[in-house]
Every structure is written in structure tokens, then in C-alpha cells.
Structure 1
Amino acid sequence: MAEQAANAKHVADIVGAGVRVGVKTTGAKAAPELVGMAQVAEKVQELMDGSEAGRRMRARAEHVRQAARAAVGEGGTSRLALRQMVGELQSSYGGGDGDGGRINGTSNASSN
């Protein structure tokens, strides 16, 4: 939960795939505030109203979705990194052949 504010800032301000709700930006530190139904409705309207800004955010969100799916899909960077890490851990602790393809003697292909 601690990284929630950083994630929200990244998605909205850097990726451009969302809007921020309930963050007070005045003063030295941004502070969370209680978000009401009207604020949420306003932000949903902003995303869905057919405006150019809304279309851009939805397009960026779709791009991020596709990139995330590719990363965790077969041959994706996240999947390969996880397999490498598992292989290194297995090698370090004397279990497995170090390729990350098997966990406790069972193929991890079924858990993909």
C-alpha cells in the first residue's frame, strides 16, 4: 500500500493512462483526502466523455495493457526474468538444474 501514491502518479503523470483523484497538491507534501462520489463521477466522465484527452488516456492504457501481457506471456521479459531468478535460486540452494524450467521436480509450464 505504501507505493500506491507513487504508482498513481506514475500512471497519471508519466504514462498518461489515467487521472488522479483525491490528492491535495498544495503545500510541501501531497496528502490524501477523502474522495466523494462527485469527484469520482467527474474523473470517470473525464476519461469517458469522448474528448481528445480521454481518447489519449484510453489509448495509452491499452498500450500498457498490451505491453504487460507481452511481458508475462510466453517468451516475455518478465516471465524470462522470473524463470532465471528461480533457476538461480535453485542452483544456489542445490535444487534443480538451474534453468528455472522446473520447480520441485515439476514443470512450471502448467502454472503459466
Structure 2
Amino acid sequence: MGITGKILIVDDEREALENCRRILSRVSYDCLVTADPADALDMIERERPGLVMTDLRMPKLDGIEVLAAAKRMDPAVLVVLLTAHATVDTAVTAMRYGAFDYITKPFT
């Protein structure tokens, strides 16, 4: 399955955000980035990305909340959760909310 359109990356850790953007930009993906999950919701509605990659643990809203809101706005959007604090419970919750994938950090 190929990703079309834009990719939105949401992570409150600037280094992780920029690393992800840099990797995806190298292979010609159009990346949008934000460290603020509330801004991410506005960007999802306005920009309609094909893929959202969001950190699980963030202030204000967590990745599950971003996932749920993204799916309400666009049921077809693919959402991948990224976390350094993976548990079976959060992985199961993410999948129940419609996550496309659940990836543990760090990744290369």
C-alpha cells in the first residue's frame, strides 16, 4: 500500500520530529510537522494528510486522542503511533481505535 499526499508528523520531542521529517523527505514525501497535538488536529482538518505519524505520550493530547480525532475527521486516514513506552495494552487500544501500525522508538 503506497502513501499518497502529505504525511503529518506529530511529536513533542523536537529531535525525534526532525529526524522523522528528514528521513521521509529524503524519499520525496511531503511532510508537515508539529510539536503540538492540538495544532495537529487543525492540520489534519485543513491539509488532509494521507498518513499521520504521532507520538503516544505528549502533553495536552496523547496519541490515542489524536488517532481518534483523526479517524472522526477522515476515516480513511492512516495513523501510525510511535512510542518509546510500548505496552501490550496501549498497542491493543491503538488498534481498536483504528491505528494502521504501532512502532516502538528508537527506530532507524
* TM band (smaller chain): under 0.3
TM-score by length of 2: 0.23
Structure with bigger gyration radius: 1
TM-score by length of 1: 0.23
Bigger RCO (CA 8 Å, 6+ sep): 2
